[in-house]
Structure 1
Amino acid sequence: MRVITVEEHFHHPESVARVLELSGSGPITPDAGFGEFLGTNMADRESAERLAGKRLAHMDAVGIDVQVVSHGANSPGNLAHPDAVELCRTVNDALAQQISEHPARFRGFATLPLYDPAKAADELRRCVDELGFVGALTHGSIEGAFLDDPRFEPVLATAEAVNLPIYVHPGMPEKAVSTPYYAGTWPAAVHFLFAGPAFGWHAEAGIHVIRLILSGALDRHPNLKLLSGHWGELVAGWLDRLDEVVGWTDHLDRAPSAYYREQVWATPSGMYSQNQLNFIVAEIGADRIIHSEDYPYVVRDNVSEFLEQADLTDEQRGAIAHGNAEVLLGISGE
C-alpha cells in the first residue's frame, strides 16, 4: 500500500536561532524546571534537520513512500519582524535543496512571512512555480490575527489561484490568552503542555478554521482548500452544533458543516485511534482524510499498520493512505 503523510516537519537551525533572538520572551513564564523539561523533550536534532539519514530510514521501516515536509517549531512564518521575509525564503530554499536529493520521497509546504502578506503571497507563488512545493503551512496567529483578517486576502487569493491547500497548523496561543486560560497552580511545563499540544493549541487551530468560515473567507474564495491536523482540531466533531447554533442567524450562505465538508481535509497527526478514525469517517467521509504522522515530534512504528488494520473498505484505505493526497496536492501516483 502506497502511503503519503503530510504533517511532517524539519528545522532550519540558523533560522530558528534568529527567530528566537528576535521574538523575545515567549508566552510561558519559566520556573526552575522548565528549561530542563524543554531540553529533554525536544525532537532528535538529526531527525529534525535532515531529510536523509534517520528520517529516511524510519520512512522505509514504517512504509511511508512520501513525506510532505514543512518547517516546525519556531518558524519564521509567525515572526513579527521584517527579517521574516528573508528568513522564510532561506527556509524554503533549504527545504527545496534537501528535497532535490530524494525527489521521489519528499515534497514541501511553503513557509510564508505573514508579517508582510503581499510578500507572503509572492513567496507562495515562488515556492509553487520555482521550487515545486505543494501548498503552504501556517502556525497559529501572528500579532493576534488569524488568516480571516482582511490583511491576509493576498495569501488566500494566491492559495486559491495555485489550487493548493493551506495547512492550518497549531501555534502556541499568545500570552494574553495563554496566561488566563492555561496557567495555574502547576509547573510551567504543565502550563506549556496544557496551552500547547495537550489541548490549547488544538482549540485555537480549530477556532482558526471556524473564523475562516464565519468571516466569509470561504465564500470569497470558494476554491480555497484547507488542511486541519489532529482529526480536525476538535471542529470535525462539532459540526452539528455549529450548524444548529450559527443557524439561529442568517449570517452565512451555507451551513458551517457545508463549508467544512467541501473545503477542509483532516489528518490524524499521529493520533492513531480507531475510534477517532471511525468518527471522522462518519462525519466528513474518507475522501476528506489524508494520512500524517507528525514526524519528528511523533514517531510511530505503526504508520502503515494503523490503516492496514483499520475497519475500512479497500477503497477508503487507499484514499486515506495516498489517493486523496495525490489529488489534492498534485502528487503523481506510483
Structure 2
Amino acid sequence: MRIITVEEHFHHPGSVGRVMELSGPAPITPDAGFGDFLGDFAPDPEAAEQLGGSRLKHMDDVGIDVQVVSHGANSPSALDHPEAVTLCRRVNDDLARQISEHPTRFRGFATIPLHDPRAAADELRRCVGDLGFVGTLVTGTCGGLFLDDARFEPVLAAAEAVDLPIYVHPGMPQAPVSTAYYAGAWPAAVQMLFSGPGFGWHAEAGIHVLRLILSGALDRHPNLKLLSGHWGELAAGWLDRFDEVFGWAKALERPVSEYYRHSVWITPSGMFSQNQLDYYLAEVGADRIIYSEDFPYVVRDDVSEFLNRADVDDDQREAIAHRNAERVLRIEP
C-alpha cells in the first residue's frame, strides 16, 4: 500500500535564525529551566534540515513512500517584516533543490510571505508553476491577522486559481493571548506547551478555518481547498454545534458543516488513534482524510502499521493512505 504523508517539516537554518532576530520578544517569558527545555524539545538538526539521510531512512523503515514537506517552526511565512519576501524565496529554492535530489520521495508546500499578500500570491504561483510544489502551508497568523482579513484576498484567489490547498497549520498565539489564557502557576515550559502543542495553537488553528467560513471567504472562493491537521484542530468535532448555533444568526448561505465538508480535508498529524479515526470517519468521511505524521516533531514507528491494522475497509484505507493526497494535491500515482 502506497503511503503519502502531508504534514512533514524541515528547517532552513539561515532563515530560522533571521526570523528569530526579526520577530522580537518571544510570547513567553523564560524562567530558569526554559532554555534547557527548549534544547530537549527541539528536533534533531540533521533530520530537520535535510531531506536525505536519517529522514529518508525513517521513511523507508516505516513505509512512507512520499512526504510533502513544508517549513516548520520559525517560518518566514508568518514574519511580519519586509524581509519575509526574500527569506521565503530562499526557503522555497532550497526545498526545491533538496526535492530534486530525491524526486520520487518528496513534494513541497510553498512558504509564502504573508506580510506582503501580493508577493505571497506571486510566490505561490512561482512555486507551483516553476518548482512543482503542490500547495502552500501557513503557520498561524501574520501581524495578528488571520487569512479571512481582506488584505489576504490575493492569497486566497491565487490558491483557488492554482487549484491546490492551503494547509492551515498552527502557530504560537501572540503574547497577550498566551499570557491571558495559558500563563499560570506553572513553569514557562508548561505555558509553552499549554499555549502550543498541548492545546492552544490547535484551538487557534481551528478558529482560523472557522473564520474563513464565517467571513464568507468560501462563498467568494468556492473552490478553495484547505487542509487542517491534528484531526481538524478541534473544529471538525463541533460541526453539528456550529450548524445549530451559527444558524441562529442566519448570516451564511449554507450551514457551517456544508462549507467544511466541501472545502476542508483533515489529517491526523501523527495522532494515531482508532477512536479518533472512527469519529472523524463518521463526521467527514474517508474521502476527507489525508495521512500525516508531523515529522520531525512527531516520529512514529507505526506509520504504516496503524493504517494496516485500522478497523476500516480496503477502499477507506487506500483513500486515506494515498488516493486523497494524489487527487487533492495532484501527486501522480
What TM-score bracket applies, with the shorter chain setting the length? Answer: over 0.9
Distance 1:157 1:26 in 2: 32
1:142 is matched with 142
Distance 2:218 2:103 in 1: 33
Amino acid at match of 1:171: G
Structure 2 unaligned segments of length 5 or more: list them: none
Amino acid at match of 1:162: V
- Per-residue deviation, 1:203: 0.1
Distance 2:41 2:145 in 1: 29
Query: 1:250-269 alignment to 2 at 5 Å?
Result: 250-269=250-269
Distance 1:89 1:194 in 2: 32
- Per-residue deviation, 1:24: 1.2
Distance 1:320 1:252 in 2: 30
SS in 2 for 1:316: helix
Distance 1:81 1:263 in 2: 30
SS in 1 for 2:161: helix
Distance 2:30 2:245 in 1: 40
Structure 1 unaligned segments of length 5 or more: list them: none
Distance 1:247 1:81 in 2: 39
1:210 is matched with 210
Is 1:246 the counterpart of 2:246 in the alignment?
Answer: yes
Distance 1:81 1:150 in 2: 19
SS in 2 for 1:156: helix
1:163 is matched with 163
Query: 1:1-334 alignment to 2 at 5 Å?
Result: 1-333=1-333
- Per-residue deviation, 1:228: 0.1
Distance 2:36 2:155 in 1: 38
Distance 1:180 1:330 in 2: 42
Distance 2:305 2:231 in 1: 18
Distance 2:227 2:275 in 1: 21
Distance 2:37 2:43 in 1: 12
SS in 1 for 2:311: coil
Distance 1:169 1:41 in 2: 19
SS in 1 for 2:158: helix
Amino acid at match of 2:111: T
User: In angstroms, what is the RMSD of aligned CA positions?
Assistant: 0.3
Distance 1:107 1:144 in 2: 29
- Per-residue deviation, 1:250: 1.1
Amino acid at match of 2:258: A
Amino acid at match of 2:306: F
Distance 2:183 2:295 in 1: 28
Q: Please list every run of at least 4 consecutive aligned residues from structure 1 whose deviation after the TM superposition is greater than 3 angstroms.
A: none
Distance 1:325 1:266 in 2: 11
TM-score with structure 1 setting the length = 0.99
- Per-residue deviation, 1:48: 0.1
Give aligned pairs, total: 333
Distance 2:249 2:196 in 1: 32
Amino acid at match of 1:172: M
Amino acid at match of 1:71: H
Percentage of identical aligned residues:
74
SS in 2 for 1:9: strand
SS in 2 for 1:209: helix
Distance 2:146 2:21 in 1: 23
SS in 1 for 2:90: helix
SS in 2 for 1:167: strand
TM-score with structure 2 setting the length = 1.00
Distance 1:316 1:62 in 2: 20
SS in 1 for 2:180: helix
- Per-residue deviation, 1:143: 1.0
Distance 1:3 1:252 in 2: 37
Distance 1:229 1:45 in 2: 23
SS in 1 for 2:222: coil
CA deviations on 1:174-221 (whole Å, 9 max, x unpaired) are: 011110000001000000000000000000000000000000000000
SS in 2 for 1:238: helix
SS in 2 for 1:69: strand
